[in-house]
Chain A
């Protein structure tokens, strides 16, 4: 009897969850489907779901028009570089906040977060002028630095919340055994915090990948990532839904796939210290 109820309940759960999940996923699914239609089919009335002549034409057109690999590579370098650089700078900072807290730790943390509230467009001119002076315009290095700075507060905060959950005694024991500070962080703390570091890196990869203001405004031909790639397909003259869908699919596919494969790590670590 009890068993039957569970199965029934499980069926209902499954049904409800799948319906909602598909509803949430539908816009992405629809974009992917549309990318395989012709432009005329994309605006067909009534809308075509699965029964249309599937075509790869849009992908061919997009690839012919823009060098996808170049944009992709830039995205990888910029998102990856800024995340890794940010993590390297953040680990020691998070260590000291978690294990040597002072009265001001909380203030510093909140101040760091508040730097994220600076509206990007308000400082476009200052940053642009600075980039010209420093010769960073349209370089990947420039974007790596900017995106690292934008995401640094989040990285520090996430790491800090993980480190705090690690018992200080373990680090102390390591120190007793004569480990230096460097060894302590590299060989004791970091391995223990791997899940946290992994999800921090993942979250920031996503944020950096999707950043569309600086990556668009500080690049031209050399350092332009996928956000600029998308900007060349939105609202041209003429019908464009299908080609936009193909370009969108190409732009989000890498991060979507990465996210899907690593969702377990992402979920495990995405607590921000909210779990006690």
Chain B
């Protein structure tokens, strides 16, 4: 009898625990990219499996960043899960603002995460955010125009080849620009692109003593090359083009080549939106002749849990669901394999169903070719390819890229832009106490 009562009590306790666990509603801040929108649409599957409800706060990338950063630094507690990138994660993790994801379940199979992604989202070996999707950058080009120009795209072209090819493909009377690239100000837009381009010309942001390097010739080479090429073969107004602007140009058939995020591949090959869906080829991002570093970046959008949330357990359940192998299967089943979140898991690239996707291999190769620990030819004190993983970088790089954009628009010379970049970077680093 006593035993029975104990069991009964135990059972009620378990029930009570279970029911409190069931009652959670978690608030998730996320960016309005296609893969996240899809995730939002599939939330019911998560609720059905765990009983937790989800409130979404979906914001445009820049607004999201300012929103979550304000909240995390003030410990506002407005969100239970934040969507953050490879730049924020290690910095926030080091400050103890994120819940370490070191106790994920065995079936989650954390070792299946692509090593580059896992490393980029960890600080001192501890994972602080789980990758939802990952990307590098690569060349997307029009096979038909390339053929027309009598050229063949190698798997790993150089910048010099790209420039020649762009010139050959350009046909401004018919509204075809040989190459479309980002020029828009902002560290995550044109700033990221020019940084990787500079890497592939042998430049770097800082030397080992954190001294800004814009006064070095490699930067001038990279900028001059970029501007000359865009003047020859780029679209009008490229100084304000970012990912989206170039995407719509490419989809309308107005670009011969476009070097950008690997996730763009699924957009440009989607016949619903793209007029050139069946004519797109892929190649590795270029490097300058004689420089071994390629101009491809590495990025992941990841889910992290702010330390101090009351709903840590439920938030972890969500992260395990959203970044799991099952989730990929779920998306594949509902939306097809081309639309699954790419670049996060090794197993995806071993999946025979995914191998048929035209851009799968090049995406993986690009990701594997990126090394955030050794991003440049000369040694640097920082981690990160298209960014420098220090808190000051976003502010500095946005201002620097504004100077560069002004140079693209012809409002100042490359020398002036670089001199200003050098001065403002030095000033900001000094303010930060380097």
**Which A residues form the contact surface with B (CB < 8 A)?**
39-40, 43, 45, 64-66, 124-125, 128-129, 131-132, 137-138, 216-217, 220-222, 224, 228, 231-240
Contact = CB atoms under 8 A, between A and B. Distances in A.
A237 B34 contact: yes
Contacts of A231: 59-60, 63
Contacts of B56: 221
Nearest to A42: B248
A227 B67 CA distance: 14
B398 to A, nearest CB: 15
B247 interface: yes
Contacts of A220: 27, 29, 55, 57, 78-79
Contact of A128 (B76, B244, B267): B76
B110 to A, nearest CB: 27
Contacts of B59: 228, 231-232
> What 7 A-B pairs are tightest by C-beta distance, nearest first?
A221-B55, A232-B58, A220-B78, A236-B32, A234-B60, A237-B33, A221-B27
Given A128-B70, A228-B57, A40 B273 contact: yes
Most buried by B among A39, A129, A236, A237: A237
B51 interface: no
Interface of A is mostly: loop
Given A220-B27, A235-B60, A138 B78 contact: yes
B173 to A, nearest CB: 14
B106 to A, nearest CB: 32
B7 interface: no
Contacts of A216: 63, 67
Nearest to B63: A231
B276 to A, nearest CB: 12
B205 interface: no
A236 B37 contact: yes
Most buried by B among A221, A239, A240: A221
Contacts of A235: 32, 60-61, 244
A116 to B, nearest CB: 23
Interface string B224-252: 00000000000000000001100110011
A237 B244 contact: yes
A234 B33 CA distance: 10
Most buried by A among B61, B78, B247, B264: B78
A161 B248 CA distance: 52
A221 B247 contact: no
